[in-house]
Amino acid sequence: MRASQFFFSTLRDTPSDAEVISHQLMLRAGLIRRLASGLYTWMPLGLRVLQKVENIVREEMNASHALELKMPVTQPAELWQESGRYQAYGPELLRFKDRHDRPFVLGPTHEEVITDIARETLKSYKQLPVNFYQIQTKFRDEIRPRFGVMRSREFLMKDAYSFHTTRESLAETYQVMYDTYSRIFTRLGLNFRAVQADTGSIGGFASHEFHVLADSGEDDIVFSNLSSFAANIEKAEAISTGERPAASVALTLVDTPNQKTIDEVSQFLNVTKDKTVKTLIVHGIADETGKHTFVALALRGDHTLNDIKAEKIDEVASPLTFASDEEIKALGLSIGYIGVHGLPIPLFVDRAAAVLADFVAGANAENQHATGVNWDRDAQITRIVDIRNVVEGDPSPDGQGTLTIKRGIEVGHIFQLGQKYSEALNCKVLGEDGKPLVVTMGCYGIGVTRVVAAAIEQNYDDSGILWPQAIAPFTVAIVAMNPAKSPRAVAASEELYAELTALGLDVLLDDRNERPGVKFADLELIGIPHRVVIGERGLDAGTFEYRGRRDSEARELTKDELFALLKA
């Protein structure tokens, strides 16, 4: 591509409303333009990247015998009513009516549509397993779209759905997709991790997320330093360690006026936070009369509650709902001074809190805390549970090594769905025994637009983007120095452009009528991996000035050296 025939719209300044680096750089490099909140146009430069990601995803899905199709963006609401998600999905599901007043949705995902197709076209076990996928526009009406294409409303997603007669067959295809995703993210040149994820309220059999590692990631992902264990923080089990020591001091009430938080109390009483216990009151499930009940959750003061784990306690309402100030007062408790002894409600204690002795907790009385609290003697545990987030250094749940926590950006998710949708939509095939059976499903997603932003979050410097080669908008840029005065440099740049293009490389010949400094700054901002500058001096010496985008300085290469490097 000649730059003079392309369209660049780089910005020197960082747009003020862009919070994260990928959003800033995508706007500055002119990859995208904002149309409205959460809606972006992919400009020619950005679309080249997006299409490269799309093609790698397509090639690998095809290689794994998934079959591409394309479902409509607009979907009839009836199917969502059949699955029950028309009510359950919440306001992210954009609903509208057509000119005949019939209700539709803009598809945030396509389980309902694919299951409808499957129930009409799949007749026999002989047709299974089959794995359909599409790369299609999705719409989610985010309450607060942000981070550019990282959390936009309209985005491109690869979503696949597989159909099976048995869970074993599902597990096989699931493994194929796990491997396919690993190949995809490897080819994309990204540093990623596959981690176990919670199967959540859908209740499938297994689930993995694929995360691109980046400090700016919104998710915490957890690894063992010795084994292959990896999970997201929602899923990672916190193992109980050690035995509870015997009580050694008496329970004492102390005045702690206006000391409500763990930080305040531990400082005021001069104890470390890991010797304190905090108590949270949440909604329990309704009783026989339909009235709210309440339960208490106790954690070590330095630990944080894991909502997903808490929701799994049978007695706890889902979604997790904290008691309001009024509800807490109605229970006779004092906000900021809730403790574990004398509680009028069931008490679920985290494993780490349950092995403490002689600890500090609220006194269940205004402006007072208790020291020397001990379980059994002073407070009754309803059940010991795992409800905290693991922290760095915790033992790995597989018993091997300790845990490390890193930040990740979720770019893929694979899920053994089971029969949630096939049951709701009555999707059956004839089994080998001639009897109809409800099919078992898997689903597999990749956020194609999000991959582009995640790649930048992982690969940038002060000058701009550092694209992995496989998805760079152009692989090589060629710049002739002083084109107006050096016809030789122009001719040599044209020749090199033709030769490298013939090799199948994506070459940008920067023939714009701009100063070298402007061109270099643009090429660095845009993140082209290889830059070749052609000038009189090099032509005399028979060399090209080469600089890799990650190199600290340029070097002179002979033509053979240059070609060897670019072919590699």
Distance separating alpha carbons of residues 198 and 386, to the nearest angstrom: 14
In the complex, least distance from residue 466 CB atom to a copy of itself, rounded to whole angstroms: 24
Q: Per-residue contact track with a copy of itself, 152 to 181, x per CB under 8 A?
A: -xx---------------------------
Indicate the residue among 54 and 394 with the shorter CB distance to a copy of itself. 54
Query: Which of 377, 161, 127 is closest to 249 using CA atoms?
Result: 377
The rounded Cα 374 to chain-centroid distance in angstroms is 41
In the complex, least distance from residue 38 CB atom to a copy of itself, rounded to whole angstroms: 9
Q: Per-residue contact track with a copy of itself, 4 to 43, x per CB under 8 A?
A: -xxx-x--------------------x--x-xx--xxxxx
In the complex, least distance from residue 185 CB atom to a copy of itself, rounded to whole angstroms: 23
Kindly indicate which of the ranges 86-94, 217-225, 244-252, 387-395 contains the residues binding a copy of itself, using the contact rule CB under 8 A. Answer: 86-94
Options 17, 19, 59, 68; binder of a copy of itself; rule CB under 8 A:
68
Indicate the residue among 5 and 258 with the shorter CB distance to a copy of itself. 5
What the block records as the tokens of 557 is: 């290469």
Pairing of β 294-300 and β 277-283: antiparallel
Compute the Cα dihedral for 119, 120, 122, 124 and give only its sign: positive
Query: Which of 347, 346, 295, 352 is closest to 320 using CA atoms?
Result: 295
In the complex, least distance from residue 415 CB atom to a copy of itself, rounded to whole angstroms: 22
Indicate the residue among 146 and 377 with the shorter CB distance to a copy of itself. 146
Distance separating alpha carbons of residues 178 and 180, to the nearest angstrom: 5
Indicate the residue among 91 and 399 with the shorter CB distance to a copy of itself. 91
**Cβ-Cβ contacts under 8 Å for 247 (sequence gap 6 or more):** 357, 358, 372, 374, 377
CA distances to 84, 183, 326, 377, 409 from 406, rounded to whole Å, are: 36, 22, 38, 40, 10
Amino acid at 183: R
Distance separating alpha carbons of residues 260 and 361, to the nearest angstrom: 11
Indicate the residue among 40 and 415 with the shorter CB distance to a copy of itself. 40
Indicate the residue among 68 and 264 with the shorter CB distance to a copy of itself. 68
Indicate the residue among 2 and 537 with the shorter CB distance to a copy of itself. 2
Q: DSSP letters along 140-204, please?
A: ---SS-BTGGGB-SEEEEEEEEEEESSHHHHHHHHHHHHHHHHHHHHHTT--EEEEE---GGGT-
In the complex, least distance from residue 559 CB atom to a copy of itself, rounded to whole angstroms: 29
Strand partners, 12: none
Q: Per-residue contact track with a copy of itself, 115 to 144, x per CB under 8 A?
A: -xx--xx-----x--x-x----x-x-x-x-
The site for a copy of itself, by CB under 8 A, has a size of 50
Measured in degrees and rounded to the nearest 5, phi and psi for residue 357 equal: -135, 155
User: CA angle at residue 308 from 369 to 171, to 5 degrees?
Assistant: 155
Options 82, 86, 89, 94; binder of a copy of itself; rule CB under 8 A:
94
Distance separating alpha carbons of residues 525 and 507, to the nearest angstrom: 17
Q: 246 by DSSP, 3-state: which?
A: coil
In the complex, least distance from residue 69 CB atom to a copy of itself, rounded to whole angstroms: 5
Indicate the residue among 46 and 204 with the shorter CB distance to a copy of itself. 46
Indicate the residue among 104 and 223 with the shorter CB distance to a copy of itself. 104
Options 15, 17, 55, 69; binder of a copy of itself; rule CB under 8 A:
69
In the complex, least distance from residue 213 CB atom to a copy of itself, rounded to whole angstroms: 28
In the complex, least distance from residue 42 CB atom to a copy of itself, rounded to whole angstroms: 4
In the complex, least distance from residue 285 CB atom to a copy of itself, rounded to whole angstroms: 30
Indicate the residue among 131 and 364 with the shorter CB distance to a copy of itself. 131
In the complex, least distance from residue 188 CB atom to a copy of itself, rounded to whole angstroms: 19
Helix (H) or strand (E) holding 499: helix 487-502
Helix (H) or strand (E) holding 266: helix 262-269
Q: Per-residue contact track with a copy of itself, 96 to 115, x per CB under 8 A?
A: x-xx----x-x------x--
In the complex, least distance from residue 518 CB atom to a copy of itself, rounded to whole angstroms: 14
Q: DSSP letters along 419-457, please?
A: THHHHHTT-EEE-TTSSEEE-EEEEEEEEHHHHHHHHHH
In the complex, least distance from residue 527 CB atom to a copy of itself, rounded to whole angstroms: 19
For 323-355, give one letter per residue: b (16+ CB within 10 A) or e: beeebbeebebbebbbbbbebebbbbbbbbbbb
Indicate the residue among 68 and 495 with the shorter CB distance to a copy of itself. 68
Indicate the residue among 10 and 318 with the shorter CB distance to a copy of itself. 10
Indicate the residue among 139 and 210 with the shorter CB distance to a copy of itself. 139
Kindly indicate which of the ranges 87-95, 308-316, 435-443, 461-469 contains the residues binding a copy of itself, using the contact rule CB under 8 A. Answer: 87-95
Compute the Cα dihedral for 174, 177, 179, 185 and give only its sign: negative
Pairing of β 440-447 and β 103-106: unpaired
Distance separating alpha carbons of residues 454 and 213, to the nearest angstrom: 8
Options 15, 84, 91, 245; binder of a copy of itself; rule CB under 8 A:
91
**Cβ-Cβ contacts under 8 Å for 436 (sequence gap 6 or more):** 428, 429, 430
- Binding residues among 38-67 for a copy of itself as defined by CB under 8 A: 39-44, 46-47, 50, 65, 67
In the complex, least distance from residue 452 CB atom to a copy of itself, rounded to whole angstroms: 12
Indicate the residue among 521 and 554 with the shorter CB distance to a copy of itself. 521
Kindly indicate which of the ranges 94-102, 237-245, 312-320, 414-422 contains the residues binding a copy of itself, using the contact rule CB under 8 A. Answer: 94-102
**Cβ-Cβ contacts under 8 Å for 185 (sequence gap 6 or more):** 192, 210, 212, 411, 412
Site for a copy of itself, rule CB under 8 A: 5-7, 9, 30, 33, 35-36, 39-44, 46-47, 50, 65, 67-76, 91-92, 94, 96, 98-99, 104, 106, 113, 116-117, 120-121, 127, 130, 132, 137, 139, 141, 143, 153-154
